[in-house]
Amino acid sequence: MQSLPGERAWPVGEYVPKVQSKRTQGLLLLVPFLLMCAVASLGAGAVSISPLQVISILLSHVGLPPLAEFSEQQAAVLTVIRLPRVLLGVLVGAALSVAGVALQGLFRNPLADPGLLGVSSGASLAVSAVTVLKIQLFGFYTFPLAAFAGSLGAILLISSLAQENGKTHVTMMLLCGVAINALCMAGTGLFTYLSTDDQLRTLTFWQLGSLAGATWPLVSTIAPLVILCSVGMVSLANPLNALLLGEANAGHLGISVERTKWMLVAFVALGVGASVAVSGMIGFLGLVVPHLVRLWLGPNHRVLLPLSALLGASLLCLADLTARTVVIPSELPIGIVTALAGAPFFLYLLLRQRRTHAL
């Protein structure tokens, strides 16, 4: 296709290899980083397990000879307690980070995060309600199911309020999200006020976030949901790139804008709802991780989405490792660790952006 006079031809032959090169560069760094974080998290704790012992225990489960001797206690601690916890951290970190990328692309706003649409607050309200009202219909799965239902209900309510004549207004969705988020937090505050001492303790620790409840059944329950939402959002990388140009321009490029919006919202509700259901409220991850990858490799969503998943999984592993080991034998809520690390970095980003605009 010929370019107009004075217009630079679109470098199709240059663009695709450049994207692939950035993605490969990120994968070569982040995949080993994630593996190192996982091995470190599996080995650290009250029962110390060296990296070679960690690898040996994992190899023994697939019938391969070990690289180092290990005790039965070390094998039991790693297999029953730490491995499901690390895998849960990887899944939750990936889901929250990818959801943050998707929302920032959808709203074309770098301050968007998974808590923006009331997803997290809806889950918090539902968990507060079943705790104070003593609803135990599904036993162990009551909390996760309530959190998922609350997040899904919040996102469906916001989406329906933001729709007019079959078209979803992104700005209206954002404003409705702020309002519903405030209502859900008010409801959570009311249930917290009505709770007993034991219920208050349960709600407080859940809202601060933790991976301490990780079990193999919980991991197997959340894994398909997180994989589905992550793969689904990665498949929408090109439509998200088009939306950065504006909805009208994206439509001219052949993108079904309304369908893309609804798919993104559904995947975000699925991933964040499932994550909050099993880990509680974990803040700043979905806000900070996309910024880090964007500063490093640029704003292309074909690179941004998969690499944010890897970096988010790695950082949540490190945050959980810190939460477990910094005050042994006690354990810090992981939400405190992510907030202490994420808030100063976010302030740094804001100040850096202000200086850039001032120049």
The model's pLDDT over 295-346, given as tens digits with 9 standing for 90+, comes to: 888 889 999 999 999 999 999 999 999 998 887 778 888 988 998 888 888 7
- Take residue 66 and report the two structure tokens written for it: 């070990």
pLDDT of res. 312? 95
Which pLDDT tens digit goes with each residue over 211-260?
Answer: 988 889 889 888 988 899 889 999 999 999 998 888 888 888 888 888 88
Cα 221 from Cα 36, distance rounded (Å): 25
| Contact indicator for 302, 356 with CB cutoff of 8 Å | no
More confident residue, 59 or 62: 59
pLDDT of res. 310? 95
Kindly state the average pLDDT of the residues 157-170.
78
DSSP 208-232: H---TT--HHHHHHHHHHHHHHHHH
Contacts of 54 (CB under 8 A, 6+ apart): 39, 42, 43, 78
> Helix 257-279 to helix 83-107 angle, to the nearest 10 degrees?
150
Q: What is the C-alpha R_g of the chain? A: 22
Q: Whole-angstrom distance between the N-terminal and C-terminal Cα of the chain?
A: 39
pLDDT of res. 13? 40
Kindly state the average pLDDT of the residues 75-80.
92
3-state helix, strand, coil in the chain (%, to 5): 75, 0, 25
The DSSP letter of residue 164 is E
pLDDT of res. 356? 66
| Contact indicator for 121, 185 with CB cutoff of 8 Å | yes
Angle at 23 between CA 21 and CA 25, to 5 degrees: 65
Confidence of residue 12 (pLDDT cuts 50, 70, 90): very low
pLDDT of res. 23? 82
More confident residue, 341 or 88: 88
pLDDT of res. 16? 57
| Contact indicator for 125, 256 with CB cutoff of 8 Å | no
| Contact indicator for 121, 176 with CB cutoff of 8 Å | no
Q: Which amino acid is at 109?
A: N
CB atoms within 10 A of CB 149: 17
pLDDT of res. 17? 64
| Contact indicator for 212, 84 with CB cutoff of 8 Å | no
CA 329 to mean position of chain CA atoms: 28
Kindly state the average pLDDT of the residues 111-119.
75
Torsion sign, CA atoms 265, 207, 274, 227: positive
The DSSP letter of residue 141 is G
Cα 79 from Cα 297, distance rounded (Å): 36
Out of 107-111, 165-169, 228-232, which region has the weakest mean confidence (pLDDT)?
165-169
More confident residue, 143 or 288: 288
